[in-house]
């Protein structure tokens, strides 16, 4: 079949011969999205690709520091990456070895992420739009009035919070929560704890990844805020999990 010269989210050429059948994913969210939508094509994924739970492929290390020789040994006809989660030098090395790499842009909104996933699935994978994608678009289309303001830490030691133009911030805005650091100059600012405590006068939302906040590790730092412990996957993963995330996040906020 004639090589298709597609363009990824960053405008880079992705030459693919037919429908890819040996795919390596360097991004947990993409792993779930492509395996659920077109099972059986993945041959490699990161150690952190936990969904679907039945996935049985070669593990190639982490997203930031994958074992590229292991990726190359798999002879993939496509590698999936993300502009925020993966290092440009790793993408370039794979391309220099003749491996097509599709880089998904780090989306700042739910609609943008779903649009990007649609392109990967329909253009790179060559399949019809999956049902979950259309369902997620319907669920997340509306932006309700603001009900709460929140500080959203994603790391401790040092403290790092969600700032401007993040996917997770848009997820929360679409369930009625405004990010207290949405106007920050940085996407992931590192304020001192006393500043965080001063701004956390309503909610503090504590995900269980990338840092695993728990009832014993997190709420105690914010005595004036109501803690909301949530699944980090529902907050930060784009893909099929967005369908369940809408109901789960709304339920977590319902009684506040």
Fold of 3-107: Rossmann fold (3.40.50)
Domain spans, the chain: 3-107, 142-254
Strands of the sheet containing 101-104, edge to edge, are 58-59, 42-45, 23-25, 78-82, 101-104
As a whole number of angstroms, the distance between CA 241 and CA 29 comes to: 9
Answering whether pTM is above 0.85, one says: yes
Domains 3-107 and 142-254 share a fold: yes
| CA torsion angle 238 59 51 132 (round to 10) | 50
Fold of 142-254: Rossmann fold (3.40.50)
Phi and psi for 183 in degrees, rounded to 5? Answer: -95, 10
Are 241 and 32 in contact, with CB atoms under 8 Å apart?
yes
- Tens-level pLDDT at each residue, the chain (256 residues): 456 789 999 999 999 988 999 999 999 999 999 999 999 999 999 999 999 999 999 999 999 999 999 999 999 999 999 999 999 999 999 999 999 999 999 999 999 999 999 999 999 999 999 999 999 999 999 999 999 999 999 999 999 999 999 999 999 999 999 999 999 999 999 999 999 999 999 999 999 999 999 999 999 999 999 999 999 999 999 999 999 999 999 999 998 8
């Amino acid at each position: 079949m004639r090589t298709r010269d597609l363009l990824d989210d960053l405008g880079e050429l992705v030459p693919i011969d037919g429908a890819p059948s040996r795919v390596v994913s360097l991004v947990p969210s993409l792993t779930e999205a492509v395996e659920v939508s077109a099972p059986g094509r993945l041959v490699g994924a990161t150690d952190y690709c936990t969904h679907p739970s039945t996935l049985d492929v070669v593990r190639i290390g982490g997203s930031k520091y994958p074992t590229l020789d292991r990726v190359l040994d798999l002879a993939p006809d496509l590698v999936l990456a993300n502009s925020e989660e993966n290092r440009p030098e790793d993408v370039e090395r794979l391309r220099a070895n003749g491996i097509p790499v599709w880089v998904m842009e780090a989306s700042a909104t739910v609609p943008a992420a779903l649009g990007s996933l649609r392109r990967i699935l329909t253009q790179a994978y060559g399949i019809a739009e999956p049902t979950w994608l259309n369902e997620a678009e319907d669920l997340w289309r509306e932006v309700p009035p603001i009900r709460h303001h929140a500080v959203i830490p994603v790391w401790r030691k040092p403290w790092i919070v969600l700032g401007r133009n993040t996917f997770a911030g848009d997820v929360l805005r679409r369930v009625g929560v405004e990010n207290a650091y949405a106007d920050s100059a940085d996407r992931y600012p590192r304020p001192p704890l006393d500043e965080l405590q001063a701004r956390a006068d309503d909610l503090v939302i504590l995900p269980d990844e990338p840092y695993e906040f728990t009832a014993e590790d997190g709420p105690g730092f914010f005595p004036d805020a109501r803690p909301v412990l949530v699944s980090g996957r529902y907050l930060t993963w784009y893909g099929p999990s967005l369908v369940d995330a809408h109901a789960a996040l709304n339920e977590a906020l319902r009684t506040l």
